Amino acid sequence: MSRPEPKLSILALVATAQFILLIDDTIVNVALPSIGADLDMAESDLSWVVNAYFLTLGGFLLAGGRAADLIGRRRMLVAALIAFSAASLVGGFAGSGELLVAARAVQGLAGALLSPAALSILLATFPAGAERTRALGVWAALSGLGAATGLLAGGVIVEALDWRWVFFVNVPVGLAAAVLVPRLVPPDVRRPDRTRPDWSGAVLGTSGLLLLVYTVVETDSAGWTSIRTLVGLAVVAVLGALFVRRERTTPDPLVPASLIGAHRVAVANVVIAIASVGLFAMFFFLTLYMQNVQGWSALRTGLSYLPFAATMLVVSGVVTNVAHRVPRRALLVTGLLIAAAGLWMMRGLRPGDAYGTELMPILVVTALGLGLLFVPIFEAATESAREHDAGMASALATASQQVGSAVGIAVLVTVATQRTDELLAAHVGPAQAMSEGFGAAFTVASLILVAAAALATRIGPTRETGRRCRLDVSRKIRHSVSA
Q: DSSP assignment, residue 29?
A: G
Residue 290: CA atoms inside 13 Å, Cβ hemisphere, count? 25
| pLDDT on residue 107 | 92
The CA-CA-CA angle for residues 368, 331, 145, to 5°, reads 35
Cβ(323)–Cβ(376) below 8 Å: yes
SS3 call for 93: helix
Cβ(387)–Cβ(152) below 8 Å: no
| pLDDT on residue 442 | 92
Taking the C-alpha atoms of residue 63 and residue 111, their distance in angstroms, rounded to an integer, is 12
Which residue, 462, 185, 452, is CA-closest to 320? 462
Alpha-carbon torsion 355, 361, 367, 370, what sign?
negative
| pLDDT on residue 466 | 46
Cβ(154)–Cβ(290) below 8 Å: no
| pLDDT on residue 103 | 93
What are the strands, taking DSSP E only, across 19-91? none
- In one letter, which amino acid is 353? D
Which residue, 448, 464, 445, is CA-closest to 456? 448
Cβ(57)–Cβ(328) below 8 Å: no
All structural domains of the chain: 7-185+254-482 (1.20.1250.20)
pLDDT in tens, the chain (483 residues): 344 457 788 888 888 888 888 787 777 877 777 888 888 887 667 778 877 887 788 778 778 877 777 788 888 899 999 999 999 999 999 888 889 989 998 998 998 888 888 888 887 787 766 677 777 777 766 766 776 677 777 778 877 788 898 899 889 988 998 998 888 888 776 655 555 666 777 788 888 888 887 887 777 777 778 888 889 889 989 988 888 888 777 777 777 666 665 667 778 888 888 888 777 778 778 888 888 888 888 778 878 888 888 888 788 778 877 767 778 788 889 999 999 999 999 988 888 888 888 899 999 999 899 888 877 887 777 766 565 666 677 777 777 877 787 778 778 888 888 888 888 888 888 888 888 998 999 999 999 899 888 888 887 665 544 444 343 434 443 444 444
| pLDDT on residue 476 | 40
pTM: 0.78
SS3 call for 160: helix
Q: Where are the alpha helices (DSSP H) in 161-262?
A: 165-168, 170-184, 199-217, 219-222, 227-249, 257-260
Taking the C-alpha atoms of residue 185 and residue 442, their distance in angstroms, rounded to an integer, is 42
- In one letter, which amino acid is 262? A
Catalogue the long-range contacts made by 422-428 (C-beta closer than 8 Å, 24 or more residues apart).
none
Taking the C-alpha atoms of residue 449 and residue 336, their distance in angstroms, rounded to an integer, is 6
Cβ(250)–Cβ(201) below 8 Å: yes
Taking the C-alpha atoms of residue 250 and residue 146, their distance in angstroms, rounded to an integer, is 38
What is the phi/psi pair of residue 339, to 5°? -60, -40
3-state secondary structure string across 424-478 = HHCCCCHHHHHHHHHHHHHHHHHHHHHHHHHHHCCCCCCHHHHHHHHHHHHHHHH
Taking the C-alpha atoms of residue 430 and residue 419, their distance in angstroms, rounded to an integer, is 12
Cβ(443)–Cβ(347) below 8 Å: yes
For helices 263-288 and 328-346, angle between their N-to-C axes, nearest 10 degrees: 20
